[in-house]
């Protein structure tokens, strides 16, 4: 491996944030390694430089971590109840119970009682002591170092029972932390398990099952009813209803036919399909989503950066406080050494930063995972937090509030019938590349007049006005009403009211005629998405007071669309640079602004906003790459859900930090009257970890109300 090459590995057994940091530091110390980054949320490590798999695994030997290359995913371990795993904890617990029975029968200090408690401590805590003592030698102070000092100290001063109890409670605490992270990671694992590992490929008409890793671009894949699609591709034969819930979060199946795109991980409900593979397994849409979500979980949010920085100084501070508690009262006040050494040890236990360290990452991992399962890709903790603070949103019109595909909605024919009118204008538009031309040709195709024997000569495109050309010797023109009004056409004034009605309804009007006659008026409109009005209403209900629409379309169309979806602030006739300038102004005005666009022509405005949201992430590389948040299903109804989820995450992160610190302070105050015991200390630490964990997992319950 080259010295500057980055390799990514999956880690099995990574359960605590402190262990992740230690593992990262150990990997960085490997000779030839230039840099290493552990993604605790995704349980992955990225290594830059030359390091063998065995060297990396050795760096995690302190916690028996297993490592494998990213593409060779480790087999998932079966879930084993805590009471069955590990055996040493169970044995330790039995000795602890026997010790307390002996304590109540024979009293404190009896040899058999001490032996039973000592056996419990050694059997249950030998791994903890091994790590803790190694850390102590290297002057690395993490929670295992603190626990080791506290338990050994308790034994030295004769508190064998409490020392043994602390070992068991610490093991339970670690198990809870491990469970909580696995629960949070399960959302990503569910995405990984979406796509089949095998695909049925047609080779010279014969079906053959092969691994998806061996499927090549251009291979013909057979997908039967009731099967999941294994690779991204294009249907070349057949049709079916496809459930795309795994990608877009939308449960309603989508009807697909020849030339339609399908994605790996989606479900074929009822048809036999032949699909030409268009992407390798590592490039499929679901693979990109998984990769981006895992990367997002590694991005530190501002609150997490604060916690990490705070924890760096917090642990040494706790050690100093514990030392002072143990020594100052006996030295300067003549109080009992045993009592205050015991209090100092209790301070070490209660000071363990477990709950504080896990408070933010578990909330972020859970929220981002939940969003991904509901078809929303949030590309980092910083954006998760920023979305929760948003008070103003700017929408692009075309492709965001509207479908982005113009349709002919009105056809008014004069002097000839509708079919003949569409035959003439379809012939004219066949020479045009304007977006409206495709809408007209589609309408002509729908009524069966697209294929015509008419031939066109002398075609000319008049910039900003329309087109003209000769058909069977007659010169026709088709374009904006203003073109005809400017020519003072003899028949156009009589149609002014009809034209204005169409324009006021948000439609683009095309007039068709010759120099002396008008043969027809067409109304074309980019239809509003079904979800737009309800989404805008929901956004207002959840407290987003400032909504804007930014569009390059004309004033009348923009105002009509804005009125229909109930957006109060409409800015029209904007070029891309105008949108960019306006977004900057809104950011200054409101502090933070979200921009929602299609991820292509809105890239500058998306980049300048506080949070850029792209529509149509499924299969759209640009949307996945340019935006901070991607709505995979082209569905604006996901936006209120995303904001509610982000706000909930912000609230929970604040609650977690406040609670974990508050409980520590409260427990430490018990030192003043001498009431703090090892029991209270470990229950405070374990209780804080448990409550922070359960509080964070509430984010899994935030649902898309759609």
Residue 78 domain-assigned? no
Q: Which long-range contacts (C-beta less than 8 Å, at least 24 apart) are formed by 324-331?
A: 325/671
641 and 659 inside one domain = no
Q: Which two tokens stand for residue 181?
A: 């992270």
CB neighbour class for 45 (10 Å; exposed up to 12, middle 13-18, buried from 19) = buried
Instruction: Tell me which residue has tokens 């306006």.
Output: 582
163 and 234 inside one domain = no
Q: Is 268 helix (H, G, I), strand (E, B) or coil?
A: strand
Q: In what order do the strands lie in the sheet with 267-268?
A: 254-256, 240-243, 267-268
Instruction: Tell me which residue has tokens 């092969």.
Output: 210
Domain boundary (626, 645, 664) is at 645
Residue 193 domain-assigned? no
**What is each CA distance from 319 to 23, 42, 72, 141, 274, in whole angstroms?**
23, 32, 42, 9, 66
125 and 135 inside one domain = yes
pLDDT at site 572: 84
415 and 492 inside one domain = yes
Hey, which residues does 570 pair with through a beta bridge? 549
Q: Is 553 helix (H, G, I), strand (E, B) or coil?
A: coil
DSSP secondary structure, 87-154, as one string: HHHHHHHHHHHHHHHHHHHH-TT-HHHHHHHHHHHHHHHHHHHHHHHHHHHTT---HHHHHHHHHHHH
**Cα–Cα dist 328/225, whole Å:** 76
DSSP β-ladder status, 392-396 and 594-597: parallel
Q: Is the dihedral of CA 157, 158, 160, 161 positive or negative?
A: negative
Residue 129 domain-assigned? yes
Q: Which two tokens stand for residue 41?
A: 């949320």
- At residue 466, φ and ψ (nearest 5 deg) are 160, -150
DSSP secondary structure, 444-468, as one string: HHHTT-SS-S--EEEEEEETTTEEE
Q: Is 478 helix (H, G, I), strand (E, B) or coil?
A: strand
pLDDT tens digits, 267-314: 898 889 999 999 988 888 777 777 766 665 555 556 666 666 676 677
455 and 567 inside one domain = no
Domain boundary (235, 259, 283) is at 283
- The number of domains in the chain is 5
**Cα–Cα dist 200/660, whole Å:** 52
424 and 518 inside one domain = yes
Q: pTM higher than 0.85, yes or no?
A: no
Which H or E run includes 475?
strand 474-479
**Cα–Cα dist 112/332, whole Å:** 37
408 and 517 inside one domain = yes
Residue 288 domain-assigned? no
**Cα–Cα dist 201/219, whole Å:** 7
537 and 518 inside one domain = no
End-to-end CA gap in the chain = 48
Which residue out of 63, 219, 396, 526 is catalytically annotated?
396
Q: What is the CATH number of the domain that holds 570?
A: 3.40.50.1000
Instruction: Tell me which residue has tokens 């304007």.
Output: 434
Instruction: Tell me which residue has tokens 């671009």.
Output: 217
Based on the residue annotation, tell me whether 516 is a catalytic residue of this protein.
Answer: no
Q: What is the CATH number of the domain that holds 265?
A: 2.70.150.10
Q: What is the CATH number of the domain that holds 495?
A: 3.40.1110.10
Q: In what order do the strands lie in the sheet with 456-462?
A: 402-413, 518-528, 508-513, 474-479, 466-471, 456-462
Residue 79 domain-assigned? no
299 and 382 inside one domain = no
CB neighbour class for 29 (10 Å; exposed up to 12, middle 13-18, buried from 19) = exposed
**Cα–Cα dist 258/1, whole Å:** 44
Range of the domain at 300: 84-187+295-364+651-701
Instruction: Tell me which residue has tokens 């979806």.
Output: 565
156 and 94 inside one domain = yes
**Cα–Cα dist 63/261, whole Å:** 45
Do 265 and 194 form a contact (C-beta atoms < 8 A)?
yes
369 and 358 inside one domain = no
**Cα–Cα dist 645/639, whole Å:** 10
Domain boundary (645, 665, 681) is at 645
Residue 1 domain-assigned? no
Residues of the chain with pLDDT under 70: 1-4, 15-18, 41-42, 71-87, 108-109, 140-143, 173-193, 246, 248-252, 292-309, 311-312, 354-355, 433-435, 464, 599-601, 616-626, 705-706
632 and 657 inside one domain = no
Q: Which residues contact 492 (CB under 8 A, 6 or more apart)?
A: 481, 484, 485, 511, 518
**Cα–Cα dist 359/365, whole Å:** 11
Q: What is the CATH number of the domain that holds 41?
A: 3.30.70.100
């Amino acid at each position: 491996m080259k010295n500057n090459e980055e390799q990514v590995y999956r880690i099995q057994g990574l359960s605590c944030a402190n262990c992740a940091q230690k593992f990262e530091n150990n990997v960085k110390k490997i000779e030839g390694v230039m840099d290493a980054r552990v993604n605790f949320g995704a349980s992955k490590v990225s290594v830059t430089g030359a390091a063998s798999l065995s060297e990396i695994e050795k760096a995690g030997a302190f916690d028996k971590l297993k490592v494998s290359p990213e593409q060779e995913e480790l087999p998932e371990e079966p879930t084993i109840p805590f009471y069955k795993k590990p055996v040493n904890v169970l044995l330790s617990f039995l000795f602890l119970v026997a010790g307390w029975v002996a304590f109540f029968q024979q009293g404190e200090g009896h040899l058999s009682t001490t032996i039973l408690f000592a056996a419990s401590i050694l059997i249950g805590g030998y791994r903890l002591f091994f790590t803790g003592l190694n850390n102590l030698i290297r002057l690395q102070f993490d929670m295992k170092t603190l626990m080791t000092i506290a338990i050994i100290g308790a034994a030295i001063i004769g508190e064998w029972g409490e020392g043994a109890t602390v070992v068991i409670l610490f093991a339970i605490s670690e198990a809870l932390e491990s469970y909580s992270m696995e629960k949070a990671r399960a959302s990503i694992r569910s995405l990984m398990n979406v796509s089949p590992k095998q695909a049925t490929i047609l080779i010279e008409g014969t079906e053959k099952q092969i691994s998806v890793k061996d499927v090549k671009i251009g291979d013909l894949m057979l997908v039967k009813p009731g099967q999941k699609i294994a690779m991204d591709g294009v249907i070349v034969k057949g049709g079916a209803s496809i459930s795309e819930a795994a990608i877009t979060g939308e449960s309603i199946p989508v009807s697909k036919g020849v030339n339609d795109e399908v994605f790996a991980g989606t479900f074929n409900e009822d048809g036999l399909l032949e699909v030409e593979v268009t992407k390798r397994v590592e490039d499929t849409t679901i693979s990109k989503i998984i990769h981006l979500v895992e990367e997002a979980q590694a991005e530190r949010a501002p609150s997490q950066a604060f916690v990490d920085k705070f924890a760096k100084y917090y642990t040494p501070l706790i050690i100093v406080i514990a030392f002072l508690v143990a020594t100052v009262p006996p030295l300067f006040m003549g109080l009992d050494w045993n009592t205050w050494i015991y209090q100092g040890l209790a301070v070490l236990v209660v000071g363990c930063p477990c709950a504080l360290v896990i408070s933010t990452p578990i909330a972020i991992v859970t929220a981002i995972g939940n969003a991904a399962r509901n078809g929303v890709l949030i590309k980092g903790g910083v954006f998760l937090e920023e979305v929760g603070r948003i008070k103003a949103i700017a929408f692009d019109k075309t492709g965001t509030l509207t479908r982005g595909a113009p349709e002919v909605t009105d056809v008014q024919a004069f002097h000839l019938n509708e079919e003949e009118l569409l035959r003439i204008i379809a012939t004219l538009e066949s020479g045009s590349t304007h977006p409206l031309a495709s809408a007209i040709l589609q309408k002509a195709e729908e009524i069966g007049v697209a294929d015509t024997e008419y031939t066109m000569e002398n075609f000319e495109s008049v910039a900003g006005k329309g087109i003209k050309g000769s058909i069977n010797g007659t010169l026709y023109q088709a374009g904006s009403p203003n073109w005809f009004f400017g020519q003072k056409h003899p028949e156009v004034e009589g149609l002014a009211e009809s034209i204005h009605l169409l324009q006021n309804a948000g439609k683009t009007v095309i007039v068709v005629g010759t120099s002396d006659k008008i043969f027809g008026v067409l109304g074309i409109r980019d239809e509003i998405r079904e979800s737009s009005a309800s989404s805008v209403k929901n956004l207002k209900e959840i407290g987003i007071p400032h909504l804007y629409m930014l569009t390059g379309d004309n004033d009348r169309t923009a105002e009509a669309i804005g009125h229909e979806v109930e957006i109060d602030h409409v800015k029209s006739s904007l070029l891309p640079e105008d949108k960019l300038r306006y977004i900057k102004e809104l950011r200054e005005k409101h502090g933070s602004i979200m921009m929602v666009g299609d991820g292509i022509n809105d890239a500058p405005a998306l980049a300048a906003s506080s949070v850029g949201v792209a529509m149509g992430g499924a299969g759209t590389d640009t949307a996945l790459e340019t935006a901070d948040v991607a709505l995979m299903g082209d569905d604006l109804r996901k936006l209120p859900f995303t904001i509610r989820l982000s706000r909930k995450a912000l609230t929970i992160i604040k609650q977690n930090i406040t609670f974990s610190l508050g409980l520590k302070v409260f427990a430490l105050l018990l030192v003043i009257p001498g009431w703090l015991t090892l029991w209270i200390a470990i229950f405070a630490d374990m209780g804080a970890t448990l409550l922070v964990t359960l509080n964070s997992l509430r984010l899994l319950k935030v649902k898309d109300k759609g």
